[in-house]
Each structure stands twice: as structure tokens, then as C-alpha cells.
Amino acid sequence: MIKLVTSLLSHKPQDPVPHIYSYLKEFNKGVEPKEIKPITTNEINELKNLKKKLDYYRDILQEYDNGDHTESDPEESDEEVEDIQPKKKNIKTQRMGVSAEVYGEHNKKGDFKPKIVPKSEESRTKLQNRLLQAFMFTALEEKEFKIVVDAIEEVQGSPGEAIITEGDHGDCMYVLEKGSLKCTKVFTGNTEPTFLKEYVPGEGFGELALLYNAPRAATITSTTDYVIWKLDRDTFNHIVKDAASKKREKYDNFLQSVEILNTMDPYERSKLGDAVIEQKYKKGDYIITEGEEGSTFFLISEGEAIATKTLEDGQQPQKVKEYSRGEYFGERALLTSENRAANIVVTSDECTVLSLSRETFNRLLGSLDKILERNMEDYQKFVGNELPQ
């Protein structure tokens, strides 16, 4: 400690925290720090983010001790709506914590028997097309997808009906087929519900209450006549939940390697891991085409591709870059709607890419501009003019 204080007094850093961090980092290696290397911008941002999280969770624990639960910001991402827990009236006597589904002697995972709800071929086709729009089902294998389609049942209703109610036990999740729904929540200190978002066809909701065995965190009410698809808890937990978890683990390392996303924390990356869509191409296929509007970002999971670009009018496009496993392209599509500056053409026999649209990114995590602002160097690089158009 004396040596650390001496180092601080001799260097007199403007901000002592990074200096202390670097000193202890060298000290833990078992060597006497001779010269303190300046902490990097990314390390500074990581420390700031960790401090914010520490303060956030400290506040939550304090409110639990006081008998209240901290409410989330109403402007949080749409998919987090279900992740807000209702207020506890007496935390000492009524502990309604969040937990994963527990399997044991009387709830064996192996005892699951797929549910089959009869449907016409027209209904099955309509349902299949709709489920492919909800990212939580994109990780399913063909056999798993069929089980889900068999198990889902159609529910119709009128305006003003509460489909799920804040505080209720959740035993199913939904996908909106037709109509419009509004999501509201009563926050601590308020008597009137706060509007959080509107659900449109193709969006799913209610899954987090099943994932974490928690009460409903918000109320979702119909504003028009509606048609929804309802999936029961058992099918969701045995089929969808396991597939989503495997998909998230599979893609997490890829997403960590994407420079434009390196200011995101693990939780944010896990949400993207749920949302990316796997697409397969063959040799000679164009993944993106020069001049078309860009709205999707791609990451190569397996295979190789090249970028070709028209350098002179009237001339054939020329190869300007090669891509292989782990590399990505189209990242500016997460920021703007600029036209594509080049073609991306598959050169291997097969190529598997992970794709993510700007619409999905914004719906889950908000604007990428805000995420990049955590690290101003990255913000200037990607939002400024340093990245080729």
C-alpha cells in the first residue's frame, strides 16, 4: 500500500483510478511495477460500465431490503419488458424470486410428451410463416419446429381484452398474428399505468416469464380485434428454451470478435445471439449486391467470400477484399440506410452467414449510435468518415 501511494504521489495522475488499476494489474503478476503503462480507452470504458452495473445492483439490493423492487426505465428495449418484476409488498414473508424451471422427481424433463393441436394445412402454413418472423424460433431444427407448430393453438379476441396481466403467473407465451396490442406497466409511486410499447404482427411476448419462472411484469391489452398464437410452458421450455440457449452459446464468440460491437456487455451480446439468423449460400451466390439499399449486417460462420467493386464505369467489378470465417461485412447497415458499396460473392462451395437487421437490432437494444458513444474512438470511427462507404 505504501508503494502504491508513493507511485500515486510521484506520477500525480489526473484520474487516479486508471493508475491504481494498472499498478495492481502489474503487481498481481508478481513483479515490481517499474513504469505504469497508461490504461487503454477500452479498459476505462469497461471500468465505467462495471461501476454503473455495481451501482445499479447495489440499488436493487437496497430496495429489496426496503421491501421494494427497482423498476426499469420505460424506454428499455422491447424484449426486456417481461424482465421487470412487480413490486413486493412484504419481501420478508413473500419472496417471489426469479428462478429457472426446476426439474426433479415429480417434474422430469424426460417425461415431456409433445402436444398436438389439430390445424388445417392453411393454418399450418400461415403459422409457419409467422413463426419464422419471431427470432426466438429461428434456432429450431426442422423436427423441433414441427413440434412447436403442432403444439401452438390459435386464439382470437376483441379490443380491450387483457391477454396477460401484471403480477399473474405465466403459463404460456404468444406470437401476434393479426391486430395491435399495447403494453403497459404500473411503476412504483404511480397509480396509472405507463405505456411501454405497441406490439405488431410477428412479435412474440411473454417468454421471459417462462424462461425464469417469474410473474408477469406488465399488462398487454388488445387495441383492435386480434389473432394470436399461444404456446404452452412445457413445449416452450423443452423445445424453444434449450434451442435458444445452444444458439446463444454458439454465436457469442463470433459476436465478441465484431469490432463495432465490442462496447456491448455480455447480456447485450446474448440478446443479439438470440436474434441473429443463420443463412446458407452456395458458390457464386451474391450475399449483398453493389448499389442496393443496406439494412442487414453479416458475419461469416463458415466458408469464404470476396468483395468486388466497380472501380470504373462500364468495367467489370474488381476484387477488393477477401472474407473468411469470423469476418464480417455490412456493419454500416446497423447505422444508416446507405446503398451497398460493393458486392459480396461466395467463393467456397458452401458459406454460412449470420445476419442481423437494423430493425431487429434497434428493437432489442436501441440505436447503435448510443452504444458506440460509450467509446468515443469507436463512435468517430464508425459514425464518422473513417469507415469506407
327 touches 254 (CB < 8 A): no
Establish whether 207 is an annotated binding residue: yes
Distance CA 279, CA 301 (A): 10
216 among annotated binding-site residues:
yes
List binding-site positions: 207, 216, 331, 340
List binding-site positions for 3',5'-cyclic AMP: 207, 216, 331, 340
